């Protein structure tokens, strides 16, 4: 009965998660371009360790960053993981400074074995976020008007993955097969501020709808030094994909008093291609069981070769490096603070976006990103399930300071990892 009740709770969480994940998790003006901010795929421990995951192999955490990691769990364990996040952002254009608060449910996932050497995982994770709203008052040729820009939406991925241990719990392979979906909407509004009712206001709307498949492949090799120490090498590859997408464009105008108007343009554009890149990842981790984990990752994505709205040159190749550690003072002691998992990490990378492209600057400008994080894994009474808390500071610094916004944000993430033996046969007296 207890397990049935828990399954019911999980079903409700999944039902509630779908609309919550559609809410904005950002208010960045940079999400006006491309697919927006790319989501962080790391869970729990990896999030607080700088976002690492390719080389992590833990029986107590779900790790979709490398599907080969699923098979590390024992044959009696069921894992369920979900996380929520809140974010405080600051924006500075050199003249004005503002801050915003956002948050939502980020992801949920489950993982369980079907054989001693095979495990499955399912989940819903973010691929990208879009959320912004800004504007300005302008005056051209004696005509005053207010121009505003707003966007919302993003892409999500529902994945199903499996992992197989090929050799003595040392060599494992895995794959995720995902369904990528979501809508991204952009809107530009021009409102005349004069008294003339003959002046026309204009609203331009664009919407991108994506419905397509996505695949990830992973490999992990673990080399033991002793019964309690080992090193794991992880490799990940995601192939490029031309998306099954529809693009809608609508332009409307109406008089400033709202009494009349017309649709100037309304198109459904289907012959413009939208692409995702080849993605490569490599990670290395050192583990001293129930004491210390040290990990580092490197990823590379060839965005520069991909098209957006049928045009290449909007993106550039992206890389990211990250490193972090987890330390447990004394796992066997009864004192609670000795059993807490203390974590920290850093990461550095660049954006895949090219902005402010002109004839004089055809390559456009981008930004670099640097961040640091700390966190804690708080064991519950059973010493199996965990509440993971992480605090992350990130700064986006433009490659060229002229006319680009500096962005900083502080993100707070909480996730709950439910870990229980669901497949143990109990003896009845």
Which range among 74-83, 138-147, 274-283 shows the weakest confidence by mean pLDDT?
138-147
Q: Are 209 and 193 in contact (CB under 8 A)?
A: no
Q: How confident is the model at residue 15 (pLDDT cuts 50, 70, 90)?
A: very low
- Between 414 and 17, name the one with better pLDDT: 414
CA pair distance 408, 51, nearest whole angstrom: 17
The dihedral formed by the CA atoms of 241, 242, 244 and 249, expressed in degrees to the nearest 10: 130
Q: How confident is the model at residue 256 (pLDDT cuts 50, 70, 90)?
A: low
The closest of 316, 411, 416 to 39, measured between CA atoms, is 411
Predicted pLDDT of residue 4: 44
Average pLDDT of the chain? 85
Predicted pLDDT of residue 293: 96
Task: Tell whether the model's pLDDT for residue 11 goes beyond 60.
Answer: no
Which range among 55-64, 190-199, 313-322, 387-396 shows the weakest confidence by mean pLDDT?
190-199
**Bridge pairing between strands 307-308 and 311-312:** antiparallel
Which range among 5-19, 147-161, 215-229, 409-423 shows the weakest confidence by mean pLDDT?
5-19
Average pLDDT over residues 53-67: 93
Predicted pLDDT of residue 128: 94
Q: Are 24 and 104 in contact (CB under 8 A)?
A: yes
* Distance between start and end Cα atoms, the chain: 19
Average pLDDT over residues 281-300: 96
Average pLDDT over residues 253-273: 64
Q: Which two tokens stand for residue 176?
A: 């995720």
Task: Tell whether the model's pLDDT for residue 156 goes beyond 50.
Answer: yes
- Spatial neighbors of 388 by CB under 8 A, at least 6 apart, are 43, 44, 45, 47, 48, 83, 375, 376, 377, 378, 413, 414, 415, 416, 417
Predicted pLDDT of residue 394: 94
Q: How many helices (H) and strands (E) does the chain have?
A: 3, 21
Which range among 189-198, 281-290, 305-314, 346-355 shows the weakest confidence by mean pLDDT?
189-198
Give me the domains of the chain, ranges plus CATH numbers: 2-421 (2.40.160.60)
- Between 52 and 39, name the one with better pLDDT: 52
Predicted pLDDT of residue 429: 45
Predicted pLDDT of residue 382: 73
CA pair distance 326, 346, nearest whole angstrom: 13
Phi, psi of 243 (to 5 degrees): -75, 145
Task: Tell whether the model's pLDDT for residue 373 goes beyond 60.
Answer: yes
Average pLDDT over residues 334-353: 93
Q: Are 61 and 43 in contact (CB under 8 A)?
A: yes
The closest of 334, 397, 417 to 108, measured between CA atoms, is 417
CA pair distance 417, 383, nearest whole angstrom: 11
Average pLDDT over residues 307-322: 91
Residue in this structure with the two tokens 């996932």, named with its chain if needed:
109
- Between 244 and 138, name the one with better pLDDT: 244
3-state secondary structure at position 343: strand
pLDDT tens, residue by residue, 70-128: 999 877 789 999 899 998 988 887 777 777 888 888 899 999 999 889 999 999 999 99
Average pLDDT over residues 228-254: 91
Average pLDDT over residues 14-38: 70
**pTM > 0.75: yes or no:** yes
Predicted pLDDT of residue 44: 83
Please provide the size of the chain in residues. Answer: 429
3-state secondary structure at position 52: coil
CA pair distance 260, 254, nearest whole angstrom: 6
pLDDT tens, residue by residue, 195-223: 554 567 888 889 999 999 999 999 999 99
Predicted pLDDT of residue 222: 96
- Alpha carbon distances (Å) from 160 to 281, 282, 300, 371: 20, 22, 23, 30
Task: Tell whether the model's pLDDT for residue 7 goes beyond 80.
Answer: no
CA pair distance 54, 41, nearest whole angstrom: 11
DSSP 8-state code for residue 74: -
Average pLDDT over residues 298-305: 95
Predicted pLDDT of residue 426: 53
- Between 378 and 10, name the one with better pLDDT: 378
84, β-bridge pairs:
105, 414
């Amino acid at each position: 009965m207890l397990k049935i009740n828990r399954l019911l709770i999980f079903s409700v969480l999944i039902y509630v998660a779908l609309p919550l994940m559609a809410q904005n998790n950002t208010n960045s003006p940079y999400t006006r371009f491309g697919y927006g901010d790319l989501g962080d795929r790391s869970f729990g421990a990896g999030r607080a360790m700088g976002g690492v995951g390719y080389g992590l192999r833990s029986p107590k955490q779900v790790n979709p960053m490398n599907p080969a990691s699923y098979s590390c769990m024992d044959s009696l364990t069921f894992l369920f993981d979900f996380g929520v996040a809140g974010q405080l952002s600051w924006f500075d254009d050199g003249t004005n400074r503002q801050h915003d608060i956002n948050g939502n449910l980020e992801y949920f996932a489950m993982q369980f074995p079907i054989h001693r050497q095979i495990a499955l995982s399912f989940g819903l994770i973010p691929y990208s976020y879009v959320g912004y709203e800004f504007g300005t008052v302008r005056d051209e040729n004696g005509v005053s008007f207010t121009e505003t820009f707003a966007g919302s939406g993003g892409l999500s991925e529902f994945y199903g993955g499996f992992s197989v241990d090929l050799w003595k719990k040392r060599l494992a392979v895995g794959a995720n097969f995902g369904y990528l979906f979501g809508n991204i909407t952009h809107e530009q509004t021009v409102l005349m501020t004069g008294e003339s009712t003959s002046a026309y206001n204009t609203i331009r709307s664009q919407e991108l709808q994506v419905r397509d498949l996505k695949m990830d492949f992973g490999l992990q090799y673990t080399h033991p030094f002793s019964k309690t120490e080992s090193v794991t090498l992880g490799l990940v590859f995601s192939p490029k994909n031309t998306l099954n997408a529809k693009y809608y464009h609508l332009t409307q105008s109406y008089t400033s008093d709202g009494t009349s108007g017309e649709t100037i343009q309304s198109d459904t554009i289907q012959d413009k291609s939208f692409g995702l890149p080849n993605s490569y990842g490599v990670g290395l981790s050192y583990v001293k069981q129930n004491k210390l984990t040290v990990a580092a990752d490197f990823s590379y994505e060839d965005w520069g070769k991909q098209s957006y709205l049928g045009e290449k040159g909007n993106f550039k190749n992206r890389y990211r490096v990250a490193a972090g550690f987890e330390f447990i003072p004394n796992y066997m002691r009864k004192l609670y603070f000795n059993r807490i998992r203390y974590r920290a990490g850093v990461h550095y990378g660049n954006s895949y976006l090219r902005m402010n492209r002109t004839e004089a600057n055809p390559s456009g400008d981008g930004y670099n990103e640097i961040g640091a994080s700390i966190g804690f894994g708080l064991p519950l009474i059973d010493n199996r399930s965990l509440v993971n808390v992480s605090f992350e500071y990130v700064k986006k610094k433009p490659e060229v300071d002229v006319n680009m916004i500096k962005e900083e944000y502080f993100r707070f993430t909480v996730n709950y990892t439910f870990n229980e033996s669901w497949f143990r046969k109990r003896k009845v007296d």
